[in-house]
Amino acid sequence: MSGPQCCSNPPTLDAASGAGHVENLAGFNTYVSGSLQSKFAILLVPDVFGYEAPNLRKLADKVAAAGFYVVAPDFFYGEPYDPDKPDRPIVEWLKDHGPAKGFEDAKLIVDALKSKGFSSIGAAGFCWGAKVVVELSKVPLIQAAVMLHPSFVTMDDMKSVKVPTAILGAEIDQRSPPELVKQFDEILKVNSVDSFTKIFPKCSHGWSVRYDVNDPTAAGCANEAHKDMLEWFTKYLN
């Protein structure tokens, strides 16, 4: 179950943020950045705060600037988790927006990307989104995966992963503590799946997208994670 860290430090959502634009993709409002002329596509699967988080869109723009076509769909149908709604606690919210539903929706997005001509697709999942990405990695419907401060992901999940996977974890993380992240990596290595694991010291769950842009230390850690993610996709999408 999702814990307090998954819901802490919520971003101020901004539907107008980012250098890209919102369009309909497979029936979902989707933030899109990059050129259709790119050879490779990246699907960003957000945490519970959804696709209007400015830092997520900033990351999409950064990845697009490196030559990828990037999509970040609204998997929550206009209802991201809102901690200011006490009548809609995370446990209740997840009944309507569980990762299993996210996986089914993500398959539609991947199909839509393939219909646009993208044959090599990577996916990055943040917190909630990591569970969606690990499911895509089992089938597999993608060619490379990155999980950042994952939630809901289990060791049994990792046993079925079939694509190169990077796991970026936080030192301070109740959802996926460093010990669990290391176990994930060990499973991938036993199964001869290319992997990369990194624990970010002094960082907490959600640090890669829920950081204060005015905090140089926090922003620096987030940028390092973004760099690692980008290098992983550059290496395995071809």
Give the model's pLDDT for residue 42.
98
* pLDDT-derived band at 38, boundaries 50, 70, 90: very high
Give the model's pLDDT for residue 228.
97
Distances, alpha carbon 154 to alpha carbons 16, 42, 75, 160, 181, in Å: 35, 24, 22, 11, 10
Average pLDDT, integer, range 71-95 = 95
Angle between helices 128-138 and 99-115 (to 10 degrees): 60
Average pLDDT, the chain: 92
Active-site residue set: 127, 173, 205
pLDDT digits (tens, 9 = 90+) for 125-168: 999 999 999 999 999 999 999 999 999 999 999 999 999 999 99
Give the model's pLDDT for residue 160.
98
Tokens 């400015």 -> residue: 54
HSE-up (13 A, CA, CB side) for residue 151: 25
Higher pLDDT, 8 or 199: 199
User: pTM value?
Assistant: 0.93
* pLDDT-derived band at 205, boundaries 50, 70, 90: confident
